[in-house]
A and B are shown apart, each in its own frame.
Chain A
Amino acid sequence: MSIQSTRKDLLIMAVFTLAVLTMPIWLDPIGAAYPDLLQKFAIFGIFAIGFNILFGLTGYLSFGHAVFLGVGSYSAVWSFKLLTMNVIPAVIAGTLIAGVFAVVIGFLCLRRSGIYFSILTLAFAQMSYNMAYSVLTPITNGETGLQLTQNDPRIFDAAAETTGLPITELFGMKLSGYPGFYFCAVLLIISFFISLRIFRSPFGLKLRAIKSNQVRMNYTGFNTRPYLLAAFVISGMYAGLAGSLMAVTDPLAGAERMQWTASGEVVLMTILGGVGTLIGPLLGAGLIKYFENIFSSYNEQVLHEIFSFLPDLFENIMVFVVNPFVGEGWHLTLGALFMVIVIFLPGGIMEGWTRLIGLFTKDRSKPDNNTPASAKAQTSEG
Chain B
Amino acid sequence: MSDISRGKSGGVSRRSVLKAGAASGLVLATPTIFSSKAHAAGFRNDPGAAKSVTFGFNVPQTGAYADEGADELRAYKLAVKHINGEGDGGMLNTMKPLSLKGNGVLGKKVEYVTGDTQTKSDAARASAKRMIEKDGALMITGGSSSGVAVAVQGLCQEMGTIFMAGLTHSNDTTGKDKKRYGFRHFFNAYMSGAALGPVLEKEYGKERRAYHLTADYTWGWTQEESIKNTTEALGWQTVNTVRTPVGAGDFSQYITPVLNSGADVLILNHYGKDMINSLTQAVQFGLRDKQVNGKQFEIVVPLFSRLMAQGAGPNIKGILGTTNWNWSLTDAGSQAFVKSFGAEYGFPPSMAAHTCYVQALLYANACEMAGTFNPIPVIKALEGFKFDGMGNGATEYRASDHQCFKSVLVVRGNENPTSQFDLLDVVQEVPRSQVEYDPAIFGGELGPYEVAM
Instruction: Give the B-binding residues of A (Cβ under 8 A).
Output: 4-5, 7-8, 10-11, 13-15, 17-18, 20-22, 24-25, 31, 33-37, 40, 130, 133-134, 137, 142-145, 147, 150, 162-165, 167, 174, 176-178, 182, 250, 252, 254, 256-257, 292-293, 296-297, 299, 301-302, 327-328, 366, 368-370, 375
- Name 28 interchain pairs, CB-CB below 8 A, sorted by A: A4-B1, A7-B5, A7-B9, A10-B14, A13-B18, A22-B29, A36-B134, A40-B126, A137-B216, A142-B217, A145-B151, A147-B151, A150-B445, A163-B447, A165-B158, A167-B452, A174-B452, A177-B133, A178-B33, A182-B29, A250-B155, A252-B125, A256-B121, A293-B127, A297-B114, A297-B115, A299-B113, A328-B116
- Residue numbers of B with Cβ under 8 A of A are 1-2, 5-6, 9, 14, 17-18, 20-22, 24-26, 28-29, 31-33, 36, 61-62, 111-116, 120-122, 125-127, 129-131, 133-135, 147, 150-151, 154-155, 157-158, 216-218, 243, 245-246, 445, 447-448, 451-452
**From residue A11, how far is it (CB to closest CB) to chain B in Å?**
6
Chain B at the A interface: SS class: helix
Contacts of B120 in A (CB 8 A): 254, 256
Q: How far is the CA of A4 from the CA of B8 in the complex (A)?
A: 13
Task: For the complex, give the distance between the alpha carbons of A295 and B31 in Å.
Answer: 27
User: What is the CA–CA distance of A165 and B9 in the complex, to the nearest angstrom?
Assistant: 51
Q: Once bound together, how far apart are the Cα atoms of A14 and B25, in whole Å?
A: 10
B62: chain A residues at CB < 8 Å are 328
A328 to chain B, nearest CB (A): 4
**B274 CB to closest chain A CB, in angstroms?**
12
Residues of A contacting B158 in the complex (Cβ-Cβ under 8 angstroms):
165, 167, 176
| A33 and B130 alpha carbons, distance in the complex (Å) | 10
Q: Find out whether the CB atom of A143 lies under 8 angstroms from the CB atom of B24.
A: no
Within the complex, what minimum Cβ distance (angstroms) separates B157 from chain A?
7
7 closest A-B pairs by beta carbon, nearest first, are: A21-B25, A14-B21, A143-B217, A36-B129, A34-B134, A34-B133, A328-B61
Which residue from chain B places its CB closest to the CB of A364 in the assembled complex? B4
B403 to chain A, nearest CB (A): 19
Q: How far is the CA of A134 from the CA of B155 in the complex (A)?
A: 25
Known contacts A7-B6, A150-B445, A254-B120; is A297 also within 8 Å of B130 by CB?
A: yes
CB proximity of A138 to chain B, nearest CB, Å:
13
A142 to B220 alpha-carbon distance, docked (Å): 12
Contact A165 B61 (CB under 8 A): no
Distance A7 CA – B36 CA, assembled complex (angstroms) = 36
Chain A residues with CB below 8 A from B5, complex form: 7-8, 11
Asked if B21 and A15 sit within 8 Å, CB to CB, the answer is yes
In the complex, A254 Cα to B126 Cα: how many Å? 13
- Asked if residues A17 and B22 are in contact (CB atoms below 8 Å), the reply is yes
Interface contact A36-B130, CB-CB below 8 Å: yes
In the complex, chain B residues whose CB is within 8 Å of the CB of A164? 157, 447-448, 451
Contacts of B154 in A (CB 8 A): 147, 165, 252
**Bound CA span A252–B452, Å:** 19
> Which residues on B sit within 8 Å (CB–CB) of A21?
25-26, 28-29
A206 to B216, CA, bound (A): 47
How far does the alpha carbon of A212 sit from the alpha carbon of B134 in the complex, in Å?
A: 46
A22 touches B6 (CB 8 A): no
Q: Are A250 and B33 in contact (CB under 8 A)?
A: no
Contact across chains for B218 and A144 when beta carbons are under 8 A apart: yes
B452 contacts A33, CB within 8 Å?
no
> In the complex, are the beta carbons of A134 and B448 less than 8 A apart?
no
For the A-B complex with A4-B1, A14-B20, A144-B217 known, give 7 more contacts whose Cβ atoms are closer than 8 Å: A14-B17, A24-B32, A34-B129, A250-B125, A250-B155, A252-B121, A293-B127
Whether A327 and B29, one on each chain, are in contact in the complex, defined by CB atoms closer than 8 angstroms, is no
Take A18-B24, A18-B25, A296-B116 as given contacts and tell me if A144 and B245 are in contact as well, using a CB distance cutoff of 8 Å: no
Task: Say yes or no: A299-B114 contact (C-beta < 8 A), given A163-B448, A252-B121, A375-B1.
Answer: yes
CB-CB < 8 A to A162: which residues of B?
448, 452
Taken together as a complex, chains A and B put the C-alpha atoms of A137 and B25 apart, in Å, by: 44
Q: Which residues of B contact A37 (CB under 8 A)?
A: 130, 134
Q: Are B14 and A7 in contact (CB under 8 A)?
A: yes
Verify A256–B21 contact, CB threshold 8 A: no
Measured CB to CB, the closest approach of chain A to B416, in angstroms, equals 37
Distance A252 CA – B24 CA, assembled complex (angstroms) = 34
Complex contacts, A369 vs chain B, CB 8 Å = 1
Q: Chain A residues with Cβ under 8 A from B134's Cβ?
A: 31, 34, 36-37
CB atoms of B157 and A165 under 8 A apart: yes
A contact residues around B115 at 8 Å (CB) = 296-297
> B116 to chain A: which residues have CB within 8 Å?
296, 327-328
CA distance A37 to B5 in the complex (A): 34
Q: How far is the CB of A66 from chain B (nearest CB, A)?
A: 12
Report the bound CA distance from A165 to B182 in whole Å. 14
Query: In the complex the two chains form, is A297's CB within 8 Å of B21's CB?
Result: no
Are A327 and B114 neighbours in the complex by a CB distance under 8 Å?
A: yes
A145 to B145, CA, bound (A): 13
Inter-chain CA distance A369–B1, complex, in Å, is 7
**A366 near B1: Cβ-Cβ < 8 Å:** yes
Q: Name the distance in Å between B138's Cβ and chain A's nearest Cβ.
A: 16
> Contacts of A35 on B, CB cut-off 8 Å?
36, 129, 133
Most A CB atoms within 10 A — which of B14, B17, B122? Answer: B122
Contacts of B6 in A (CB 8 A): 4, 7
C-alpha spacing A29/B29, complex, angstroms: 15
Question: By the criterion CB–CB under 8 Å, are A368 and B21 in contact?
Answer: no
Does the CB pair B216–A256 fall under 8 Å?
no
State whether B147 touches A145 (Cβ < 8 A): yes
Q: How far is the CA of A15 from the CA of B5 in the complex (A)?
A: 13
Q: Which chain B residues lie closer than 8 Å to A17 at the CB level?
A: 18, 21-22, 25
Q: How far is the CA of A138 from the CA of B20 in the complex (A)?
A: 50
With both chains docked as a complex, state the minimum distance between the C-beta of A160 and any C-beta of chain B, in angstroms. 11
User: Across the interface, do A327 and B36 meet the contact criterion of CB distance under 8 Å?
Assistant: no
Which residue of A has the minimal Cβ distance to B21?
A14
CB distance from A59 to the nearest CB of B (A): 26
- Chain B residues near A250: list those with CB within 8 A: 125, 129, 155
A residues less than 8 Å from B135 (CB atoms): 297
A36 touching B18, Cβ below 8 Å = no
Closest to B219 in A: A144
Cβ–Cβ < 8 Å partners of A31 in chain B:
134
Which residues from chain B contact A292 at a C-beta distance below 8 Å?
A: 126
- Complex: A167 Cα to B111 Cα, angstroms: 31
CA distance A238 to B33 in the complex (A): 28
- By a CB distance below 8 angstroms, the chain A residues around B32 are 24-25, 33, 178
Q: How far is the CA of A252 from the CA of B126 in the complex (A)?
A: 12
Q: For the complex formed, measure the closest distance between the CB of A140 and the CB atoms of chain B, giving whole angstroms.
A: 12
CA distance A22 to B31 in the complex (A): 11
Chain B residues near A163 (CB-CB < 8 A)? 445, 447-448
A297 to B60, CA, bound (A): 13
Shortest CB distance A94–B (Å): 16
Bound Cα distance from A301 to B111, whole angstroms: 9
